[in-house]
Structure 1
């Protein structure tokens, strides 16, 4: 095969013009902007559906635990503070006459210490022990537990105790009332 002078000259001109140059060099670094979103949840409280405090007799205190109450804070907030409160109805049996009623104010509540916590901040029981027990009311909420400070999500659980101060003149029967926990 014979290479002509014209072909050699045109190949040299192409190389000189840079048309057949070396490949471009890769950049030594590269940035990628990344975004994502953290979603805020809710502030919730879960309580046992029922509790049975056992048996007792008129004129004697009757006590028992309600079961675990849990506050779950998934608001992902800069200030993750909350307060859980508790109220109660009166406890009645039969036709709810005076001798068939135990007033809410005759029932003491104490939260006790936390059985579990997650997150940061300060968790504080409303009543840390039996000596700090306080009477329930059907109109004025009693602080059961609180959380102050902290950020992001958190939770607390406790197993409160009720102490029913049964009046001496109450009649026998199965007494029923409703204890309501709330959180805000």
Structure 2
């Protein structure tokens, strides 16, 4: 009879070894995630401006009104650049005598009229002496450093040199500011 008792004891020991509880950990980690909502990078410009009148062979100068960039991307590197371009200014049928090309349009941004957020805001052309021809796209304003939500406003001016050969009439063109 000793054999069955020995077998029973060995079998019970095996069941006890298999059924022992796992050791509990002293701490545990839970990974938590969330998102910070971001908005867009936007620019607002005046809808239109009337510079008045001038004679052929002269120039006409005026302020365009306030341009504002609002950067709500909440970016770690919250930088942006505004580019400005000009179309031709045209009257009537757009013949050569009725067209003032973009190379006759000068632009200067002036200094910022308002800023918010951190970083460095840089005017493209701080003064009238820095005016540039819009014969090619130009940098109007930029933000070169900083993080988070920010904004900048400025009131740029343009000067249009009217060719001596230009005919009388009402001329219109488009100044375009783009931010990226």
Give the TM-score, by structure 1 length. 0.78
Partners in 2 of 1:44 and 1:129 — Cα distance? 25
The corresponding residue for 1:173 is: 169
Aligned partner (choices 72, 77, 84) of residue 79 of structure 1: 77
Partners in 2 of 1:170 and 1:51 — Cα distance? 21
Q: Deviation string for 1:142-172 (max 9, x for gaps)?
A: 1000001101010000111010011111111
The corresponding residue for 1:161 is: 157
1:36, distance to aligned residue in structure 2 (A): 6.1
Aligned partner (choices 122, 132, 155) of residue 120 of structure 2: 122
The corresponding residue for 1:143 is: 139
The corresponding residue for 2:98 is: 100
1:47, distance to aligned residue in structure 2 (A): 0.5
Partners in 2 of 1:112 and 1:57 — Cα distance? 26
The corresponding residue for 2:42 is: 44
Report SS of the residue matched to 1:148: strand
Gaps of 5+ in 1: 1-33
Partners in 1 of 2:102 and 2:171 — Cα distance? 12
Give the TM-score, by structure 2 length. 0.80
1:61, distance to aligned residue in structure 2 (A): 1.1
Partners in 2 of 1:51 and 1:121 — Cα distance? 31
Gaps of 5+ in 2: 1-31
Large movers: runs of 4+ above 3 Å:
34-37
1:41, distance to aligned residue in structure 2 (A): 1.0
Query: Aligned Cα RMSD in Å?
Result: 1.5
